[in-house]
Amino acid sequence: MGYIYGHQLTNVFTQLQALGLTPSRHAFAREWCGAGKDYLYDRERRGGQSSRVAPSTVRRLRERLAEAACLLPPELASQVREIDASIVRDMRVASLVGRRSYR
């Protein structure tokens, strides 16, 4: 499993919130990422938009997306699968950028 960058994680949050699947940054961090409630806030506060998101967090997020896609109506499930596909694409981009942040 690869990693993505902080701004890509924030984008996933924004998309899920727009679909009505998470009400807040706190809920997204806990329920989708398996992290503490202040995870996104802390990342953004410390300039984490250009830092790597741990592969374990990406794995957890993708697992939750797969679970959600199985339970949602077809149209919404399709949008969730598109979000997961964007994460796969983002992991490829991150691997091309290399191991260090691109700040």
Q: How many domains, the chain?
A: 1
Q: Is residue 17 part of a domain?
A: yes
Q: Is residue 102 part of a domain?
A: no
Coil, strand or helix: which one is 51? coil
pTM > 0.75: yes
State the amino acid at position 74 in one-letter form.
P
Residue 15 CB-half CA count within 13 A: 19
Q: Mind listing the pLDDT tens digit of every residue in the chain (103 residues)?
A: 789 999 999 999 999 999 999 999 999 999 999 999 999 988 888 777 778 899 999 999 999 999 999 999 999 999 999 999 999 999 998 888 775 554 5
Q: Is residue 88 part of a domain?
A: yes
Q: Where do we find the tokens 């700040």?
A: 103
Q: Which domain holds residue 44?
A: 4-97
H/E run at residue 58:
helix 55-71
Q: Is residue 22 part of a domain?
A: yes
Q: Can you tell me the distance from the alpha carbon of 79 to that of 25, in angstroms, rounded to the nearest whole number?
A: 20
